[in-house]
Chain A
Amino acid sequence: MAADLLSITIEEENILPNIKVSSADEVIERLGRVFCESGFITEKYIPAVIEREKRYPTGLKTEYGYVAIPHADSTEVKMSGFAIATLVDPVIFKSMEDGIEEFPVDIVIMMAVKDPGSVVYVLQKVVALLRNKPALDAIRVAEFPSEIKNVITNHLIIQKDGSGLKGN
C-alpha cells in the first residue's frame, strides 16, 4: 500500500502558486494546460472538467477555508495525480453539497483519476490535505512550486504511518 501511496506524485510543473485569475473556468484552464503538458491528461480533459463543474460543482467549505476539487471522469486521463493552484484573489465555485451556495475559493486542486484502484489513494491525499490546517496555511503563503511540493511530500510521509489523518 505504501508503494501505491507514493506512486501518485505531485510534479512541480503542476503547481501554480499565487496566480491571478478572474473565474473558476480560467483557473481550470490554467491548471489543465500544465497538467496536459506534463502528460497526466489529454487536452479534452479540460473542457470535460469545465462542463462537469457546471453540472456538478466541487466547491467545499472546510474548517480552514474554501477549496475546490474540479475533476472529470477517467476517459481523458493518462496518469493519476493532481495539480494545485493558489489564487491571489478568490474566485467563485459553487457548493458540491447543494450546487447553489457560492464559495470564494483560493485553493484549487484539480484531480485526475485513471482507474478505480487509484481513486482512493488520490482522494485520501486530497481529503487529508483539506483537514490539515498547517498544510493548508503553508500552501496559502507559499511563493514557489517547490514549497508547495515540500508541504505535500512531507504531509504524505506523515500520512503513510496513519498519523497524518489525525484530528478527525
Chain B
Amino acid sequence: MVPVKILVICGSGVATSMHVAYKMREYFQKEKLPVTVDGAGINELAGRMHAYDIIVSNAAVHQKTDKPVFSAIPLLTGIGEKELMEKLIAKIRELMG
C-alpha cells in the first residue's frame, strides 16, 4: 500500500513542526495507518508540496494549493486536538480509498 504523505510546516522548520510531526506519528502508529510525516520550514512549502497529499501547518499558509491544509496549532495548545486528529484520520482514510 502506498503511504499517505503529510508535510508539516512551521516558520523555521526546526522546532514546532518537528514536535507536531512526532505527535502525529504517534497517533498514526496507534491507528496502524500507513502514513509518512515530514517536517519543513514554510519557505520550503512551495517547492515541496507537490510531493505530498496533505499539508499540516503551524503558520498561516498563503500559497495557493489544491492539497488539503490543516492547522497544527491544536497539537501545541491541546485545544481541539482530538477533533483535528479525527478530521486528519478521516481524510487519510478517504485518500487511501
Residues of A participating in the B interface, judged by any CB pair closer than 8 Å: 52, 55-56, 58, 60-63, 69, 71-74, 96-100, 111, 113, 116, 119-120, 122-124, 127, 130-131, 167-168
Contacts and interface: CB of A to CB of B under 8 A. Distances in A.
Nearest to A117: B18
Interface size class of B (residues with CB under 8 A): 20 to 34
Interface string B51-83: 000000011100000000001010111110100
B22 A97 contact: no
A34 B95 CA distance: 49
B79 A127 contact: no
A99 B13 CA distance: 16
Contact of B12 (A52, A60, A62, A167): A52
Contacts, number: 75
A105 to B, nearest CB: 13
A131 B77 contact: yes
A116 B16 CA distance: 11
Nearest to B81: A168
21 contacts: A60-B77, A62-B79, A63-B77, A63-B79, A71-B15, A74-B14, A96-B58, A96-B59, A96-B73, A97-B58, A97-B59, A99-B59, A100-B60, A113-B15, A119-B18, A120-B19, A123-B15, A123-B22, A127-B78, A130-B77, A131-B78
A74 B13 CA distance: 10
Given A62-B77, A62-B78, A97-B71, A111 B60 contact: no
A98 B45 CA distance: 16
B42 A56 contact: yes
A116 to B, nearest CB: 6
Contact of B73 (A60, A71, A100, A124): A60
A72 B10 CA distance: 11
A167 to B, nearest CB: 8
Nearest to B71: A97
B76 A119 contact: no
Contact of B19 (A55, A73, A124): A124
A168 B79 contact: no
A83 B13 CA distance: 20
Contacts of B12: 52, 56, 71-73
Given A52-B11, A99-B60, A123 B77 contact: no
Nearest to A128: B78
